[in-house]
Chains A and B, each alone.
Chain A
Amino acid sequence: MSGRLLERLMPWLLIVACFGIWEASCVIFSIQEFVLPRPSTVLAIMVKRADVLAEHALHTFYTTMVGFALAVVGGVVLGALVGSSRLLYKGLYPLLIGFNSVPKVAVVPVLVIWFGIGDVPAIITAFLVSFFPVTVNVATGLATLEPELEDVLRALGASRLDILRKVGIPRSLPYLFASLKVAITLAFIGSVISETVASNNGIGYLILAASARFDVPLVFAALTVIAVMGIVMYGLFALVEGRTTGWATRKMDYAMGG
């Protein structure tokens, strides 16, 4: 088997191996279904309860994406501000770190008091957990611009906006995409946390309701759905990243095509 093919197959092989060990352990140690269901059972439940899962998954997907979109906009704007001004960089950083250290699950009850039970707390929680990496990465991309390059452009009479457009933005794109991949998975965590605490809808709510009935297979089915959504969205951003900023990872196909 060639190295490239092995590289492509590796994730699938590992997933299959993982589920294989899990399945075997459940059988060998005869673990009860309400403690740890077998992957095959989870899969069967996913098919059988597909309608319920899809309904809640769609809802979670919706709140996650709205929260994530807000995080991208907010993170880019804030990151651009922080990254292009030394004063803001120094001033805002401790505040941002402090804010990011607050456990968001503790904030949800407050959000419920403010906005009531429903989508809004989920959206806000998704936003809160995912905007930080976007901000930090965009700021880093802008702040680490080579001073010589800036000198070259400034000596030509380039304005700050020129430098931002010609160098700052393209240069921080790989940082942005790297953060988007992290942020989207965090956004799922955020919305599910919020749904678990206060919602009548979404995967988080479904998990809570199912575990209250000791329907552990359904809990695992729901967890699997979230994981798959996370992987798919991550893959989507990785694809866009490779297309637009292949120069950062030095992909040859980009070099030839671009």
Chain B
Amino acid sequence: MSTPLVALEHVSLAYGARGGSTLAVENLDLDVPQGQFVAVVGPSGCGKSTLMKLVTGLLPPTSGVARVAGEPVRGPVKIVGMAFQNATLLPWRTALQNVMLPLEIVQPHRSRLRSAYAQYEKKARELLGAVGLGGFEDRFPWQLSGGMQQRTSLCRALVHDPSLLMLDEPFGALDAFTREELWVVLHDLWAAHKFTVILVTHDLREAVFLSDTVFVMSKRPGRIIARRDIPRTGPRRLEDTYTPEFAGVVQDLREHIGRERAT
């Protein structure tokens, strides 16, 4: 087996002063193979967001090693795209300009952006088109609905072709219909580009529908307490979520979480 793109080896993180007053995550082990879609679920406050920061190099672990592409993480990893529950778009930029923001930061795009602007703009427009925002490129964020803002945010996370996409409850603030629509959008984008995804969520149906592997985290301090592979037999469709097999997997995961919450 080749080296996984992301690997956490016995990672712990303590917040607060030296010695650590609160453990956010403890002895966390996780590996994500290249091109896989992985979901991490858990009760609220289990340190899922901490996991995001450890992987992206925004927080150094107190002990253990976080590896990305085989190398220990020592700072911002730069090969990552991120999206959160809030779309966090810049209100003074249009949808298109928001999507192109990472290109102004990340090398090698940063130094090429000026000379190859038309080419990059075309790419950003195509991406917006792919998530169903064709014709809305020049709107400002406040002129877009919550779902459209989240689509824009997704495009921004992907425009620089990151090999790793980190999603922190990206659909948490949306209504049920929009959320399911965006599952399909994300599924199709992933199927087309085969980047690696770590999706942090507390929506079990979302996790099961989208991912190859679901990890269940314990409550604080977070550890991985269960792992469930969800084989793919081809592209997934929303209808699949109403099959008994699907419901069975969700139910099984729910029990793990239920036990965690009860203790």
Q: Among B75-83, B196-204, B249-257, which stretch is in contact with chain A?
A: B75-83
Chain A min CB distance to B247 (Å): 33
Q: Is the CB of A148 within 8 A of B92?
A: no
* B90 close to A (CB within 8 Å): yes
* A160 close to B (CB within 8 Å): no
Query: CA–CA, A166 to B98, complex, Å?
Result: 11
From B84, B106, B142, give the contact of A148 (CB < 8 A). B84
Q: Is the CB of A156 within 8 A of B102?
A: yes
Query: CA–CA, A255 to B142, complex, Å?
Result: 10
In this complex, the interface size class of chain A, counting residues with CB under 8 Å from chain B, is 20 to 34
* A167 close to B (CB within 8 Å): yes
With known contacts A155-B57, A255-B140, A146–B86 Cβ distance under 8 A: yes
From B78, B86, B88, B90, give the contact of A156 (CB < 8 A). B78
Among B58, B76, B107, residue most surrounded by chain A Cβ atoms (within 10 Å): B76
* A250 close to B (CB within 8 Å): yes
From B91, B102, B166, give the contact of A247 (CB < 8 A). B91
Q: For chain B, what secondary structure do more than half of its interface residues adopt (helix, strand, loop), or is it mixed?
A: loop
Chain A min CB distance to B108 (Å): 12
Query: CA–CA, A58 to B192, complex, Å?
Result: 68
Chain A min CB distance to B127 (Å): 16
Smallest Cβ-Cβ distance to B101: which chain A residue: A166
Chain B min CB distance to A154 (Å): 6
Nearest 8 interchain pairs by C-beta: A155-B56, A157-B78, A149-B88, A247-B92, A148-B84, A156-B105, A158-B105, A157-B76
Identify the A interface with B (CB < 8 A). Answer: 146, 148-149, 151-158, 162, 166-167, 170-171, 245, 247-248, 250, 255
Q: List 24 A-B contacts (CB under 8 A).
A: A146-B86, A151-B53, A151-B82, A151-B84, A152-B88, A153-B101, A153-B105, A155-B76, A155-B77, A155-B82, A156-B78, A156-B80, A157-B76, A162-B105, A166-B90, A166-B105, A167-B90, A170-B90, A171-B92, A247-B91, A250-B142, A255-B139, A255-B140, A255-B143
Identify the B interface with A (CB < 8 A). Answer: 53, 56-58, 75-78, 80, 82, 84, 86, 88, 90-92, 101-102, 104-107, 139-140, 142-143, 156-157, 160, 166
